[in-house]
Chains A and B, each alone.
Chain A
């Protein structure tokens, strides 16, 4: 995407071609006064909301020290939070590797010249993208006996569910990435005598991966967030440990805030990685391909800008 700052200071900085700053003029004395009034009103409103929340929580005794104190003991962290974090990161890591492999295979299969490869791959990808991940994970847990003839652990139910869903989304990203490469590349490769497989492997994929990297990482953020769905089947991830620790210390809301902050920190870190990679890509002279953004949801042929999303797609 473009390097323009979406918001920019109006007065100090010389106006670049930033869209947002075009929406309003550099404020004159009157406008500055008006903006100050708005600023005041906004702060007042925010303070009111904060006050309301504070009073409400105070009424329900959520600020009591004993509800917050446990977070300063190592026992809480070693018994609940760290194992939970391990569960979340472990499932996310395994699922990410599997989903990347799944996405590679099906993304390339959807571009195959053979109809009997292309169509089934498309059906699989569209199917897994169209159904909610939650019922997929629940089904894998409960249906594993009928499916595989053996019951699987909660870990594998979560990992496989994540693999199927995110793998399908990644397959679309791979497909878009390969399609974004100028036709001349594969034509040139074919004309010097490479075979189809070699063209994909040596020419298209290396370039496509550079273009896809930000979108892939954005999808990995989604995957990391989706591990929280393991809660449904009782996989002991961070979210599940939130329930355990909040029933142990009877501090549901303080614990929710702390756990949410951990999730946010993890995802923001990954999101920054994506942004950084995107910037780096833009500087790179070698890759001529444009960065691929995440694919639209099922059936939507994105006619509009696919720039939506940014850090994470709209999944759970």
Chain B
């Protein structure tokens, strides 16, 4: 366990960038996912079709491919630059990839949530003259969000675990830090692994409990 304790500073730093990566991607995925869910239930067929196409494409592509495409394809070949600094650039490319991928799961959860809102709600909204946009933003989505807090928690946890794949395109997060440590301490692989596994459990387990608690608290009483 000594190796872990000696390198506690860099390890914590790496976990901090995992957290930053998760938070930025979660925000991106939530925004994009909500938009996609709106598209997929909208009255305009073209919007529905493009939303469906996007979700099915993203959901069925391995995240490793998505992120490598962001790093190598968008970053190197197509020359998409967010910043002159290499590390900052790879961070944002990873955020783009993770958000784009996770958004499809947010969209699917939300759509399931929209289905739990009783028909009467939408009918009442329509009968007082609200448009589709108003019905969605003021009546349906607020209730839908409350009913999918649990599933969205699952998506967030999966996202936190998925940030490890960003190490492949040069983001210095926890998995990258673990690889470096193992490179230099080949005799202490097991303690290093246990340390990082614990680190991830510290991130994922409380998130799970928090969202479990939230989903009970926010559940719409029907």
Chains A and B are bound partners: yes
Closest chain B residue to A270, Cβ basis: B60
Size class of the contact patch on chain A:
35 or more
**How many whole Å from B72's CB to the nearest CB in chain A?**
6
Bitwise interface map of A from 12 to 25 toward B, beta carbon under 8 Å scored 1, else 0:
00000101101111
State whether the Cβ of A299 lies closer than 8 Å to any Cβ in chain B: yes
State whether the Cβ of A51 lies closer than 8 Å to any Cβ in chain B: no
State whether the Cβ of A253 lies closer than 8 Å to any Cβ in chain B: yes
Q: Is the CB of B57 within 8 A of A264?
A: yes
Query: B69 to chain A: which residues have CB within 8 Å?
Result: 253, 256, 260
Closest chain A residue to B64, Cβ basis: A228
Q: 8 Å CB contacts to B: which residues of A155-191?
A: none
- Given the known interface contacts A314-B154, A314-B159, the answer about A60 and B77 at a Cβ–Cβ threshold of 8 Å is yes
State whether the Cβ of A252 lies closer than 8 Å to any Cβ in chain B: yes
**How many whole Å from A12's CB to the nearest CB in chain B?**
12
- Given the known interface contacts A7-B41, A297-B157, the answer about A60 and B193 at a Cβ–Cβ threshold of 8 Å is no
**How many whole Å from B15's CB to the nearest CB in chain A?**
12
Query: B151 to chain A: which residues have CB within 8 Å?
Result: 296, 302, 304-309
**How many whole Å from A254's CB to the nearest CB in chain B?**
10
State whether the Cβ of A132 lies closer than 8 Å to any Cβ in chain B: yes
Query: B40 to chain A: which residues have CB within 8 Å?
Result: 6-7
State whether the Cβ of B172 lies closer than 8 Å to any Cβ in chain A: no
Q: 8 Å CB contacts to A: which residues of B164-186?
A: 164-165, 167-168, 174-175, 178-179, 182, 186
Summarize A's interface: helix, strand, loop or mixed: helix
**Cross-interface CB contact of B108 among A256, A296, A300, A309, cutoff 8 Å:** A309
Interface stretch of the complex, out of B3-11, B81-89, B195-203: B195-203
Interface stretch of the complex, out of A34-42, A69-77, A101-109, A203-211: A34-42
CA of A120 to CA of B196 in the docked complex: distance in angstroms?
A: 21
CA of A298 to CA of B116 in the docked complex: distance in angstroms?
A: 23
**Cross-interface CB contact of B109 among A35, A229, A308, cutoff 8 Å:** A308
State whether the Cβ of B138 lies closer than 8 Å to any Cβ in chain A: no
**How many whole Å from B60's CB to the nearest CB in chain A?**
4
Q: Is the CB of A300 within 8 A of B78?
A: no
State whether the Cβ of A111 lies closer than 8 Å to any Cβ in chain B: no
Query: B57 to chain A: which residues have CB within 8 Å?
Result: 260, 264
**How many whole Å from A199's CB to the nearest CB in chain B?**
31
Query: B179 to chain A: which residues have CB within 8 Å?
Result: 138
Q: Is the CB of A22 within 8 A of B119?
A: yes
Query: B42 to chain A: which residues have CB within 8 Å?
Result: 24
Query: A27 to chain B: which residues have CB within 8 Å?
Result: 43
Query: A63 to chain B: which residues have CB within 8 Å?
Result: none
CA of A74 to CA of B91 in the docked complex: distance in angstroms?
A: 38
State whether the Cβ of B35 lies closer than 8 Å to any Cβ in chain A: no
**Cross-interface CB contact of B190 among A19, A42, A146, A268, cutoff 8 Å:** A146
Q: Is the CB of B59 within 8 A of A135?
A: no
Q: Is the CB of A304 within 8 A of B43?
A: no
CA of A22 to CA of B126 in the docked complex: distance in angstroms?
A: 9
State whether the Cβ of B17 lies closer than 8 Å to any Cβ in chain A: no
CA of A229 to CA of B59 in the docked complex: distance in angstroms?
A: 16
Q: Is the CB of B116 within 8 A of A316?
A: no
Q: 8 Å CB contacts to A: which residues of B59-114?
A: 59-65, 68-69, 72-73, 76-79, 102, 105, 108-109, 111-114
Q: Is the CB of B77 within 8 A of A253?
A: yes
CA of A228 to CA of B64 in the docked complex: distance in angstroms?
A: 6
State whether the Cβ of B149 lies closer than 8 Å to any Cβ in chain A: yes
Query: A225 to chain B: which residues have CB within 8 Å?
Result: 60-63
Q: Is the CB of B43 within 8 A of A60?
A: no
Q: Is the CB of B46 within 8 A of A39?
A: yes
Query: Apart from A24-B132, A259-B65, what are 9 other A-B pairs with CB-CB below 8 Å?
Result: A20-B114, A24-B43, A132-B175, A135-B200, A232-B168, A252-B76, A303-B149, A308-B151, A309-B105
- Pairs A–B under 8 Å by Cβ, sample size 24: A19-B119, A22-B119, A23-B41, A23-B122, A24-B135, A135-B200, A143-B189, A143-B190, A147-B190, A221-B60, A225-B62, A239-B65, A252-B73, A299-B205, A300-B150, A301-B150, A303-B219, A304-B116, A307-B112, A307-B115, A308-B151, A310-B108, A312-B59, A316-B63
